Amino acid sequence: MQGTSTRFLTAVVCIFKANAWEGQLQANGMTFECGTYGNEGSNGDVVFIHGNEKYNKGRFYPLMSHMADHGYRTVACDMRGFSPRASPQQAEAYNYNEMAKDIFAIADAAGFGHQFHVVAHDQGARLMWHTIAASEGRSRFLSVSSLAIPHGDAFSESVVGPKANPIQQSGYQYMDVFVMDTPESLEWSRNQMYEYHADSLDKIQRRTWWYKGGVDAGALGLPPKEYDAQFPWTTDGVPSTAKVGHVDMPVLYICGDGDLCGRAGGFPYASRTGELCDGAYTHLRLPTCGHDIMVARCSQSAHGMCTGSACGLYSGSGYQVWDTIIANIQLAQPPQPTQPPQPTQPPQISSYHFEANLDCGQCGDSNYLYIGAEGNYWDDATRNTALAVCGAVCNAHVECGGFNFEESLGNCYYRRDTGCSRSTNAARDCFTKVNSHTQVVV
């Protein structure tokens, strides 16, 4: 691979396969520890960016190897503060405006073209969003896949300002301490970063500077600091000032339900991120996952629920996280010639077969349809209004086979198929589309 910077091998080189390389890249005046897969990028070039975590570039290697087999050229590096020879010991060096330059310099050093795709996790994803807001990212990124971090503006809204959510504000109190940059806060931070507990304080400090750098660049909002005995002062919070705004490149947002970015956090990150994406947008929900996507066992499960535009474009790895990342990248590829559009028919209004006191469609996560308000798989209704409220929503989605109303919760739950897992339940009613392909089993 040819690039604008020199690439050279370290004394110890790990060759994983014929088209893989691990060594050092010189970029932006520093030396980064990197790994690459793929000798040519016939389907595109991809930069992977890790966050504040134990498994850095190596977390991406299995996916990078898989992508190399499918025509992608990829690079992942231990980023600034994690590579020994790219670890300045000044807080100012971790301002996101400076760190954004590393992304483009690494891509150039790897020999990538002017435009490339980005897959990023955790703080790396926050840096990626800021790079769209403040520098060349909007013109050079072909697509972005954001793992465990929503659109940057949505995150700021969740912790400070009129839309802020108390669960988010409480959950992100640690960031208020990380950015204090005092000896006491540094020792506290080391105890919080249990995977780094044995690391020296200077390494811990560089990790906390990733957060300070985000705040200093206006990219990262901070929640109002709550009172606690060790750090008793309070603050009003810090809103972000470098807004990302609307983006038109394909966007993928992946989050586990157990993470603050998912259902455990109580903030509609998925729908809010979608509102800020003018191009193709995909949300992959992982009900069995927490924050640590890609290294956790859940990334190999079939429990993901993909509700966006990239679903079904690519399959083959057996891992839904991998397949959806590749599918999102494919959305940025030049469109193939298509047949002239045919006249569309007006949507068919369905009638429903009503079965009182019946539970139906409880046959696994894959049978849920996330077509309700704010991306949920349910809507609020009463027994008297269920058909009018939920029938109209189901009518608008051809994949909806019906819904199951539950009286105690006041919800109706959308199903692909109402014919499975049927049982008598006085608190539930089953509605099945008459013109659906549902096979009712009685």
- Helix then strand count (H, E) for the chain reads 12, 17
Would you state the pLDDT for residue 337? 47
Per-residue model confidence as pLDDT tens digits over 261-306: 887 778 889 889 999 999 999 998 888 888 888 765 565 555 567 7
d(CA 420, CA 210): 49
Using the 8-state DSSP alphabet, how is residue 359 labeled? E
b/e sequence 260-292, b meaning 16+ C-beta within 10 Å? bbbbebebbbbebbbebbeebbbbbbbbbbbbb
Calpha distance 305→84 (Å, rounded): 39
Spell out the domains of the chain, with CATH numbers in brackets. 7-156+241-330 (3.40.50.1820), 352-433 (3.50.4.10)
CA atoms of 386 and 394, how far apart (whole Å): 11
Q: How many CB atoms lie within 10 A of CB 98?
A: 16
Count other Cβ atoms within 10 Å, centred on residue 193.
Answer: 19
- The confidence score (pLDDT) of residue 346 equals 39
Whole-number average pLDDT of the chain: 85
Q: Answer yes or no: is pLDDT of 114 > 70.
A: yes
Residue-wise burial string across 412-428, b where 16 or more C-beta atoms lie within 10 A, e elsewhere: bbbbbbbbbbbeebeeb
CA–CA distance, 306 with 317 (Å, rounded to integer): 16
Distance CA 72, CA 68 (A): 5
Query: Rounded to whole angstroms, how far apart are CA atoms 145 and 353?
Result: 41
Q: How confident is the model at residue 340 (pLDDT cuts 50, 70, 90)?
A: low
Tokens 């992304």 identify what position?
A: 103
pLDDT of residue 296: 58
More confident residue, 238 or 55: 238
Q: Name the 3-class secondary structure at 96.
A: helix
pLDDT of residue 294: 77
